[in-house]
Structure 1
Amino acid sequence: MTTMQELLIRLGLRPPADETVLQPLRTALTHTSAGLKINHEELEFLGDAVLRLACAEFLEEHNPTLSVGDRSGIRAQLVSDRWLAELAAELELDGLIVQGSATAADPTAKATVRAECCEALVGAVYLAWGGADGGLHAVRQWLDPHWQRSSLELASDPHRHNWKSALQELTQAQKAGLPVYATAEENQSHGDPRRFRSEVSINDQQHGTGWGPSRRLAEQEAARVALAQLRPPSGS
């Protein structure tokens, strides 16, 4: 069994009789950093549009009572780079992605490469399974089970992975001041989970400290800690 056939099994798609139609999938998994003439960029552009349309259809079918605003918020998480990178890791795309040696050796680039190639893979599946004549169905066949699982996780915690937004909503509801973040770079080691340190304060009172490999992630962690302090206990 070839690695491409194994990937199709992970995607939940039936291998086509003519394997030449799978060329878009190979292109999607060829990152620009490899320096090859054919790469993932155009398929990533297509995949972005297909991904949003497919997810809009999914939410319309499974969450028809939600407002357009709520659906937009959920879709933003279900098509985010973070979600795509996690999906790529689950699919074990790392072993199939062709990329430059410098990029492969950079731990901070891993999530970005995964997300970009996974989005390109969406565009590739759309094309390989017929484009306007069946491609969207194939994308839905692949992604719907993952969206169903993620939707359940989001239902239990609507602000999953977006702690800063949740903290700001909470402070606004409590008529407290807006959160203020003081973030500093502690060292310059790329990929170090404690490279940045962030403290979040509300009304000049510190409520949380977080660490992360980037400013954004350090601030998200600080917000998560602050939320745990400020939210009333469950059932109270």
Structure 2
Amino acid sequence: MLDDVRRQKELQTLVQKLGLAKTDRVNWSLLNLALIHPSFSREKNYQQLEFVGDAVVRLAAAEVLLESYPNAMVGEFAALRSIMVSDRSLAEIAERYGIERYLLASSSAALDKEGKISRLADAFEAILGALYLSTHTMELVRPWLDEHLQIKATEILQDPARQNYKDALQEWTQAQYKKLPIYQVQEVVNFIHEEERFIAEVWMNNQKLGAGKGRSKKAAEQAAAKEAFILILQAQ
């Protein structure tokens, strides 16, 4: 238990929200540390726990995918997991539990709207790290996290537009070839529509995987990655 009674009650409320029954297994000091933003304390903050939590959520996602889709290809697993554990996906889960209200951060960091997604995702990973290190098992993680990961996997499979295709394609090429895809982008001189200002192609091992257009270089690359990723899934 923490010396700060008020903080202890806050953390107990959070754990109850997670639906964890075995609260006696929680290392409250670690959980408290998981909710301290670097802007609040340079010496004691969640950064190391976030590092552990990143591995924890990836392992949990891998296990959920293996159990839910035992016949899927490894490349598809890698692509799905990259989206399931993306900052945006983790931030969405964090918001459902109201993580931000428990996070200790400087006033400037707390008001930074642009950094909210990464701030929530980092804190969420740190919480997972703290819960994992409390028992050195997934005992305090998977009972409540699995449902969120399963829902996200289903959403991705039903609506590919939810995906960040560049991340998904990169995850797949790393799993298959241990390499990153290469993007070639050029600006169209006499484009008619703003959406077609840039054309991108994505290549791997001297093979064009896909192509796409966009109003910006990033948008064109995303479109090319989308075409490549969909073609890969169809081939499997």
Q: TM-score range by the shorter chain?
A: 0.5 to 0.7
Deviation for aligned residue 1:80: 1.1
Counterpart position of 2:19? 12
The separation in 2 between residues aligned to 1:6 and 1:60, in whole angstroms, is: 32
The separation in 2 between residues aligned to 1:126 and 1:157, in whole angstroms, is: 31
TM-score, normalising length: structure 2: 0.67
Counterpart position of 1:41? 47
1:215-230 map, 5 Å: 219=219
Deviation for aligned residue 1:6: 2.2
Give, as a single letter, the amino acid of the residue that structure 1 aligns with 2:23: P
- SS of 1:34 mapped into structure 2: coil
Runs of 4+ in 1 over 3 A off after TM superposition: 163-166, 178-182, 197-203, 206-210
The separation in 2 between residues aligned to 1:22 and 1:35, in whole angstroms, is: 18
Alpha-carbon distance change, 3 to 28 in structure 1, aligned in 2, over 3 angstroms: same
- SS of 1:108 mapped into structure 2: coil
The separation in 1 between residues aligned to 2:215 and 2:55, in whole angstroms, is: 38
8 Å CA contact 2:56, 2:129 repeated in 1: yes
8 Å CA contact 1:25, 1:124 repeated in 2: yes
Matched, 1:151 2:157: no
Which structure has more relative contact order (CA 8 Å, sep 6+)? It is 2
TM-score, normalising length: structure 1: 0.67
Deviation for aligned residue 1:58: 1.3
Give, as a single letter, the amino acid of the residue that structure 2 aligns with 1:62: S
Render the CA deviation track for 1:133-189: whole Å, top value 9, x for unaligned: xx21321112101011111111102342326689xxxxxxxxxxx99587xxxxxxx
Fraction of identical pairs, as percent: 36
Deviation for aligned residue 1:37: 2.7
The separation in 1 between residues aligned to 2:162 and 2:184, in whole angstroms, is: 18
Return 5+ residue gaps in structure 2 as ranges. 1-5, 169-182, 188-193, 201-211, 228-236
Which of 66, 81, 95 is the matching residue for 1:75? 81
Matched, 1:97 2:99: no
The separation in 2 between residues aligned to 1:122 and 1:165, in whole angstroms, is: 22
RMSD (Å) for aligned C-alpha atoms: 3.4
Matched, 1:25 2:31: yes
